[in-house]
């Protein structure tokens, strides 16, 4: 373990007066109350209704509203305010399409707005000088949906375990990822796109400057996220703009090692074509003014960008190349995936004949198709849909997470890899009050489905969903404690927890959360090694 991480622990646990003071922090020894002074002004939060020992501050602005001239610009520093600002209400979700009510991922009727750059804080610190470890959460949703205040992300349980928990909104879809020559021309960095990722950098800068006022340690920040939020964690590890803003990272089901992200010229071409579909031609200031004049619904219904690009600034080169060169932000990680990521995420895949599946795999994977069919023969035997879901999910998630662990290990830092095989009860992830949904027709139901580990990691199996078992609650208690231990020290291990070994590619040990919590080896090794040959990683 590296000595710089020992220094972080000393700062977080011992030298609280020196390390805990930050911009906007209260004087050491002051009791932490619902009214807190930040670098921008005074905020008034409140005690969590069901737990007077936890304070929550909702809807805290970390940047100016990205509207008008600020649409498709890097986040602008928030201006200070006079008087006391209420932090009792969550801010609106960023603009996104609504998910059908029949989906496990339905978000219901969201309050959506372009003015959405808000964060939320939960803290159980009794004094501002405590310098507790900080965890900053990035929600998933494919960079096109999701929001920070879903009940499943309630931070009360993690705050009670000793961290200061922050969740953030960030720009999505065409609002967060449009690249266009006119935007690049006005940028001092000759770049455009990736605004939804730049929002995360701005949020981390806000945490650095203000979290000490809430009892948090700005020198001990762990970023974590799921799906697109985990992609974001991976991109932040690769980005020079995030250097020094976080000290540990946790990724649930999403990495950045397959490549395939467009570069700036390709993204320009896509932006110009999408703008032309809206009747906006040209690449100059007039075209940009016309785009900024579009109403939010028109932008939402467009194809004006939906994902990260290699923009030459936030991401100077492809993320996998940055890791391969050892130029990433060098922090320890926990990363992992679930056993059945594809059952919900790819629920609309059709059932094909075996000949049709073989033809599709030859089109996608060329000479590797026969090896894939052989490796996934048991899954295809269940059904071709199940087999196709398993192939796509292992490549997109399980392989990505093992590759991430190996990249960090190859760089000389500590990685901890997990595999989540416990099948949770099936409930709507983002609208849990709507409770359960019908199980699908198929050989094994949903299994351990994409996003199924969220309630466990947040310690919220007692808060959301129905039909949890006592073992589910036990996994939740353990998983959330591993996460908190890691946020404290960079090592998830602790008393009354199964030992979690550091990842070594030569041994290939994972911690499995399933019918037991135990170390297992070589999870899907033959299949993941095949994807190594297909994707050719550099470690």
> Is residue 133 within a helix (H) or strand (E), and if so which, with residue range?
strand 132-138
Residues 163, 482: Cα–Cα separation, whole Å? 12
Residues 152, 428: Cα–Cα separation, whole Å? 10
* Chain CA centroid to CA 269, Å: 28
- The helix/strand/coil state of 281 is coil
- Put the strands of the sheet holding 509-513 in their side by side order: 46-48, 51-61, 118-123, 164-168, 132-138, 216-226, 248-252, 333-338, 415-420, 509-513, 517-521
Pairing type for strands 35-37 and 333-338 reads: unpaired
Rg (CA), the chain: 23
Comparing CA positions, the residue from 523, 534, 505 lying closest to residue 420 is: 523
DSSP 496-530: TS---PPP-TTT-EEEEESSSEEEEE-TTHHHHHH
Residues 114, 94: Cα–Cα separation, whole Å? 6
Does residue 227 carry a catalytic annotation? yes
- DSSP at 256: S
Comparing CA positions, the residue from 200, 221, 204, 242 lying closest to residue 94 is: 200
Using alpha carbons, list the distances in angstroms from residue 524 to 41, 342, 448, 529, 533.
52, 15, 15, 8, 14
Question: Other C-beta atoms within 10 Å of 293: how many?
Answer: 11
Residue of 227, 239, 451, 480 marked catalytic = 227
Comparing CA positions, the residue from 33, 35, 49 lying closest to residue 125 is: 33
- The helix/strand/coil state of 121 is strand
Q: State both tokens at 46.
A: 């409140």
- Dihedral sign from CA coordinates of 372, 373, 375, 378: positive
What are the backbone dihedrals phi and psi of residue 166, each rounded to the nearest 5 degrees, phi first? -125, 130
- Residue numbers annotated as active site: 227
């Amino acid at each position: 373990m590296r000595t710089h991480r020992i220094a972080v622990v000393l700062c977080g646990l011992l030298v609280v007066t020196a390390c805990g003071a930050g911009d906007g922090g209260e004087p050491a020894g002051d009791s932490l109350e619902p009214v807190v002074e930040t670098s921008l002004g005074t905020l008034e939060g409140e005690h969590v209704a069901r737990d007077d020992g936890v304070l929550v501050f909702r809807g805290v602005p970390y940047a100016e509203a990205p509207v008008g001239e600020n649409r498709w610009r890097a986040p602008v520093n928030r201006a200070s305010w006079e008087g006391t600002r209420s932090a009792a209400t969550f801010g609106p979700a960023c603009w996104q399409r609504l998910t059908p009510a029949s989906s496990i991922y339905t978000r219901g009727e969201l309050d959506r707005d372009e003015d959405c750059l808000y964060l939320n804080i939960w803290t159980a610190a009794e004094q501002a000088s405590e310098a507790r470890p900080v965890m900053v959460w990035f929600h998933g949703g494919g960079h096109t949906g999701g929001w920070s205040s879903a009940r499943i992300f309630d931070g009360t349980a993690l705050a009670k375990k000793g961290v200061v928990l922050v969740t953030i909104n960030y720009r999505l879809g065409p609002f967060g990822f449009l690249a266009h020559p006119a935007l690049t021309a006005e940028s001092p960095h000759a770049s455009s796109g990736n605004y939804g990722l730049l929002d995360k950098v701005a949020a981390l800068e806000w945490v650095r400057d203000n979290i000490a006022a809430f009892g948090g340690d700005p020198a001990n920040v762990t970023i974590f996220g799921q799906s697109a939020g985990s992609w974001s964690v991976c991109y932040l590890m690769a980005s020079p703009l995030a250097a020094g803003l976080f000290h540990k990272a946790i990724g649930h089901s999403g990495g950045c090692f397959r490549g395939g992200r467009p570069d700036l010229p390709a993204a320009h071409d896509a932006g110009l074509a999408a703008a032309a579909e809206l009747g906006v031609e040209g690449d100059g200031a007039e075209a940009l003014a016309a785009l900024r004049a579009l109403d939010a619904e028109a932008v939402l219904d467009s194809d004006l960008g939906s994902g990260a690009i290699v923009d030459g600034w936030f991401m100077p080169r492809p993320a996998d190349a940055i890791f391969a060169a050892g130029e990433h932000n060098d922090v320890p990680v926990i990363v992992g995936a679930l056993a059945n990521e594809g059952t919900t995420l790819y629920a609309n895949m059709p059932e094909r004949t075996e000949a049709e599946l073989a033809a599709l795999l030859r089109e996608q994977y060329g000479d590797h198709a026969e090896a894939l069919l052989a490796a996934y023969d048991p899954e295809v035997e269940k059904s071709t849909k199940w087999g196709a879901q398993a192939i796509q999910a292992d490549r997109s998630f399980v392989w990505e997470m093992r590759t991430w662990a190996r990249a960090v290990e190859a760089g000389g830092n500590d990685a901890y890899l997990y595999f989540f095989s416990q099948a949770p009860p099936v409930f709507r992830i983002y609208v849990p009050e709507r409770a359960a949904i019908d199980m699908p027709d198929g050989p094994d139901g949903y299994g351990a489905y994409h996003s199924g580990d969220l309630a466990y990691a947040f310690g919220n199996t007692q808060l959301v969903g129905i039909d949890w078992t006592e073992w589910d609650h036990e996994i939740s208690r353990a998983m959330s404690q591993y996460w908190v231990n890691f946020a404290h020290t960079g090592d998830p291990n602790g008393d009354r927890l199964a030992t979690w070994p550091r990842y070594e590619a030569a041994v290939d040990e994972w911690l499995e959360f399933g019918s037991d919590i135990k170390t297992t080896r070589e999870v899907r090794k033959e299949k993941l090694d095949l994807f190594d040959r297909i994707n050719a990683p550099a470690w």
